[in-house]
Structure 1
Amino acid sequence: MPPSRHHVQHLTVHGHQRAFVQVGQGPVLLLLHGLGCDHTTWSPVIDGLAEHYTVIAPDLLGHGLSDKPRADYSVGGYANGVRDLLTVLGIDKVTVVGHSFGGGVAMQFAYQFPERTERMILVASGGLGPEVTPAIRAITTPGFQQAMGLLTLPGVRHVGTAGLRTLAALPTAATRDLGEVADIYDSFKDPRARAAIRHVVSAVVDWKGQIVTMADRAYLTEAMPMCVVWGRDDLVIPVRHARNAAALAPKARVEIIARSGHFPHKDHPERFVEVVHDFVRDTRPATYSRARWRRLLKNGPTSPAGSVAQVVPLAAADAGA
């Protein structure tokens, strides 16, 4: 992955080293990266967010500079690991921001630990529909480890990553995200990283697509402010999943960013910071009530009739800014 622009710290939790960046002061934003990425995916927005917040951006276990053991790589396991890291850091409550697979972890964290979650921001998130790019489904197929071992041999890998980055420079929506794909491809040179990623994907994706979904628990977001951010040209997880979020959680705010792919925080970092800041500023942090949580669980989902999600297109981006 690209060199970090920020000081990386390390803590050992449950015998495994966890890498993370901590920058800024104020209310805490927890930034959770996507599959095969690390904290550097947030580099374009960390400094802007740190002007108002304490930003915690970890490398999830099996990614980046964190250890890559044979371990629990389920979304529940990741939520537990994030909780434990925050506990060691002395942080009680956060607004959790999750990108792609990290969005699934963010949803699980909010579900498992509502008393520690003030808000939830999902960025091109998994868990909002079954569709996913075939490239991710391929990771679960037999022979992935062996094939990727050959494709990441030094000469082959260098040619492959150079080709992907060349395509990423083309002015087309179809190739916009290939620079990030090149970084992920390069990280697969480490067999421990390949094994970890395969465990992660196997836990959330099968041949039909995504397994893990928030659909059956979306009604719980009634007790928690939620914002969904998506790139209109996302080819990894379709932008229509943002509309799924609006249907599942009618009180959520939905932001669709034009001329943006699967990484809207990298395509339009200044606007992304503005969206996050506006959302945090305009919403009250959730206050956990065991009685209310019990009531929601007991009553289950109710019809969203009469409720409409606040869908906010980014006018500046649409206008060519």
Structure 2
Amino acid sequence: CVRAQAGVLAKHYDVYIPDLLYFGGSTSPSTDRSPGFQAECLVAALGKLGVERCTVVGFSYGGMVAFKMAEAHPGLVRSLVVSGSVVAMTDSISETTLERIGVKSSAELLLPDSVKGLKALLSIAAHRKLWFPERLHRDYLQVMFTNRKERAELLEGLVVSNKDATVPVLPQKILLLWGHNDNIFNIELAKTMKEQLGEETMLQSIDKAGHLVHLERPCVYNRRLLEFLAYVSAEASKE
């Protein structure tokens, strides 16, 4: 959830937007780089804030953390909205994705160290061509790609072997809200994941949007998100 969503959501809901570890000012003395550890840190923070039930909205890496939160804490997580993510980054998904994109590693794509690399990432992540002045690209590199060592370790900690990967049984209502033209985690992967997650999972795709669906089509994304949240709230009232 980013600024394009925060203002809209805050009109109707209490909104908490955390910095995941190493994605902002948050760090940890722990050497655990797994999404599960990130999830437990978020759960602890929500507990300190007095949050007893919530909907978790996660994009990309945040979606993987959201799935871990839902699996480990069904009493806390009422429902999920996930975009451009997977339940688990298996060997096969990782290899297939990297081969399709044409890069050797996730770090090569997701941790660019030059304007050229950043432009390549944005061209893959967005359906429409994005243009920014060179100065903004340089500023973006300095601001958004800090803690490079730790974030590279986070990427390494994502991948699990196919034999160890399982799809959890999640009781929550789940909305997979996807960019129809996502080049990183394509719509076919989302369809497979919907079938694996079961009857409580819905899949909605947004045309003319890629991996950065919430930025490319914020109005459509926000409308779909608010509709789902209203539906979840209505169902909770019935219960």
- Report the TM-score range of the alignment, normalised by the length of the smaller protein: 0.7 to 0.9
Q: Give the counterpart of 2:189 among 241, 246, 259.
A: 241
How far is the alpha carbon of 1:188 from its aligned partner?
6.9
Greater strand share, 1 or 2?
1
Contact 1:177/1:262 (CA < 8 Å) preserved in 2? no
Counterpart code for 1:98: G
- Find 1:160's aligned residue among 116, 141, 155: 116
Q: 1:255 and 1:128, CA in 2 relative to 1: closer, same or farther beyond 3 A?
A: farther
What's the counterpart of residue 150 of structure 2?
Answer: 196
User: 1:263-308 deviations in whole A, cap 9, x for unaligned?
Assistant: 11111112111111111211324999xxxxxxxxxxxxxxxxxxxx
TM-score, normalized by length of structure 1?
Answer: 0.59
TM-score (norm 2): 0.77
8 Å CA contact 1:246, 1:252 repeated in 2 = yes
User: RMSD in angstroms over aligned alpha carbons?
Assistant: 3.7
Bigger RCO (CA 8 Å, 6+ sep)? 2
Task: Report how far residue 76 of structure 1 moved.
Answer: 1.0
The 2-side partners of 1:189 and 1:216 are apart by 31
Using the alignment, how far apart are the partners of 2:189 and 2:116 within structure 1?
A: 30
Q: Which residue of 2 aligns with 1:256?
A: 205
Residue 229, structure 1, aligned to residue 184, structure 2: no
**Higher Cα radius of gyration:** 1
Quick one: distance in 1 between partners of 2:78 and 2:199?
18
Deviation string, structure 1 residues 3-56 (Cα, Å, up to 9, x no partner): xxxxxxxxxxxxxxxxxxxxxxxxxxxx4xxxxxxxxxx111110111111111
- Preserved contact between residue 94 and residue 119 of structure 1 (Cα < 8 Å): yes
Q: Number of aligned pairs?
A: 223
* Residue in structure 2 matching 1:124, options 74, 84, 91: 84
Q: Over residues 46-96 of structure 1, what are the superposed CA-to-partner deviations in whole Å (9 max), with x where a residue is unaligned?
A: 101111111111110111222365532201101100001101111111101
Aligned-residue offset at 1:177: 10
User: Is the CA contact (8 Å cut-off) linking 2:98 and 2:105 kept in structure 1?
Assistant: no
Which structure 1 residue ranges, 4+ long, deviate > 6 Å from structure 2? 181-184
Q: Any residues of structure 2 matched to 1:137-156 within 5 Å, and which?
A: 138-139=105-106, 152=113
Structure 1: unaligned runs, 5 residues or longer:
1-30, 32-41, 289-321
C-alpha displacement of 1:164 = 1.9
SS at match of 1:120: strand
* Alpha-carbon distance change, 237 to 189 in structure 1, aligned in 2, over 3 angstroms: closer
Q: CA deviation at 1:173?
A: 3.0
Judging by fraction of residues, say which structure has more helix: 2
Q: Which residue in 1 is equivalent to 2:67?
A: 107
CA distance in 1 between counterparts of 2:63 and 2:208 reads 21
Q: Indicate conservation of the 8 Å contact 1:118/1:287, yes or no.
A: no
Note if 1:267 corresponds to 2:216: yes
Q: Tell me, what secondary structure is at the counterpart of 1:164?
A: helix
Residues 133, 237 of structure 1: 8 Å contact kept: no
Q: 2:183 is paired with a residue of what secondary structure? A: coil
Point out where structure 2 has 5 or more consecutive residues left out of the alignment. none
Q: What CA distance in whole angstroms lies between the structure 2 residues aligned with 1:212 and 1:235?
A: 26
Q: 1:100 to 1:178 in 2, by over 3 A?
A: farther
SS in 1 for 2:167: coil
Counterpart mapping for 1:76-115 below 5 A: 76-115=36-75
Partner of 1:22: none
